[in-house]
Structure 1
Amino acid sequence: MVTNDENKPIDPEEYKKVTEAMYKQNLELARLYKEVDALNKQRESLMHLITHKVKGSFTHSKYIFAGMLDGTFGETNEEMKKIAEEGLEANDGGIKTIDLVLNAANLQKGTVKYDMKIFDFRDMVENLLKEKHAEVKKKNLAMEGNLKEGVYNVLGDIFWIKEAVSNLIENSIKYTKEGKIIVDLRRAKPARNASGIADAGGENKIILSIKDTGIGITDEDKKNLFTEGGRGKESVKVNVDSTGYGLYSVKLVVEAHKGRVSAESEGAGKGSTFFIELPLA
Structure 2
Amino acid sequence: MGLSPRASEPVHHFDALRLKDEILAMVAHELHGPLTPLQFAADLIRRTSADRPEVLRSVDMIDRQITQIARLAEDLMDAVRVERGALRVTKVQVDVVAVLAAPLTAAAVAAARRKQTLTVQIADRTLRVDCDAVRLAQAVNNLLHNALKYTPEYGCITVKVLADHNELVLSVKDDGMGISDSHMPHIYELFAQASRTIGACAGGLGVGLAVVKAVAESHGGTVSAFSAGPGTGSEFTLRLPIVVDQCATRQPA
Report the TM-score range of the alignment, normalised by the length of the smaller protein. 0.7 to 0.9
1:35-67, Cα deviation, whole Å (9 max, x unpaired): 333322222222222222233345554444444
Q: Which residue pairs with 2:53 in the alignment?
A: 78
Q: Identify the structure with the greater strand proportion.
A: 2
Alignment partners' CA distance in 2, 1:29 and 1:256: 35
Would the aligned equivalents of 2:87 and 2:214 in 1 still touch at CA under 8 Å?
no
- Amino acid in the other structure paired with 2:191: G
Would the aligned equivalents of 1:107 and 1:253 in 2 still touch at CA under 8 Å?
no
Q: Where does the alignment leave 5 or more consecutive residues of structure 2 unmatched?
A: 244-253
1:113-161, Cα deviation, whole Å (9 max, x unpaired): 3211122224423553234322222122222111122342211111101
Q: Does 1:135 align with 2:110?
A: yes
Q: Which residue pairs with 1:268 in the alignment?
A: 230
Q: Which residue pairs with 1:10 in the alignment?
A: none
1:218 to 169, 180, 204: 180
**Counterparts of residues 91-106 of structure 1 (less than 5 Å):** 91-106=66-81
Alignment partners' CA distance in 1, 2:80 and 2:236: 23
Displacement of 1:96: 1.2
- Amino acid in the other structure paired with 2:99: M
Q: Which residue pairs with 1:208 in the alignment?
A: 170
Alignment partners' CA distance in 1, 2:141 and 2:175: 18
Q: Does 1:52 align with 2:29?
A: yes
- Amino acid in the other structure paired with 1:273: E
Displacement of 1:179: 2.4
Q: Which residue pairs with 1:69 in the alignment?
A: 46
Would the aligned equivalents of 2:177 and 2:231 in 1 still touch at CA under 8 Å?
yes
- Return 270-279 or 119-128, whichever deviates more: 119-128
Q: Which residue pairs with 2:137 in the alignment?
A: 162
Displacement of 1:102: 0.5
Alignment partners' CA distance in 2, 1:63 and 1:124: 28
RMSD: 2.8
Would the aligned equivalents of 1:182 and 1:210 in 2 still touch at CA under 8 Å?
yes
Alignment partners' CA distance in 2, 1:246 and 1:237: 10
Pair 62,243 (structure 1): closer, same or farther in 2 beyond 3 Å: same
% identity of equivalent residues = 21
Q: Where does the alignment leave 5 or more consecutive residues of structure 1 unmatched?
A: 1-23, 189-202
1:90-118, Cα deviation, whole Å (9 max, x unpaired): 12111111112202312332333321112
Would the aligned equivalents of 1:175 and 1:238 in 2 still touch at CA under 8 Å?
no
Equivalent pairs counted in the alignment come to 241
Displacement of 1:180: 1.7
Displacement of 1:244: 0.7
Secondary structure of the residue that 1:210 maps to in structure 2? strand
Relative contact order, higher structure (CA 8 A, sep 6+): 2
2:124 to 143, 149, 166: 149
Secondary structure of the residue that 1:184 maps to in structure 2? strand
Displacement of 1:241: 3.2
TM-score, normalised by the number of residues in structure 2: 0.82
- Return 248-257 or 51-60, whichever deviates more: 51-60
2:17 to 35, 40, 46: 40
Alignment partners' CA distance in 1, 2:128 and 2:121: 17
Pair 130,62 (structure 1): closer, same or farther in 2 beyond 3 Å: closer
Alignment partners' CA distance in 1, 2:132 and 2:198: 31
Secondary structure of the residue that 1:140 maps to in structure 2? coil
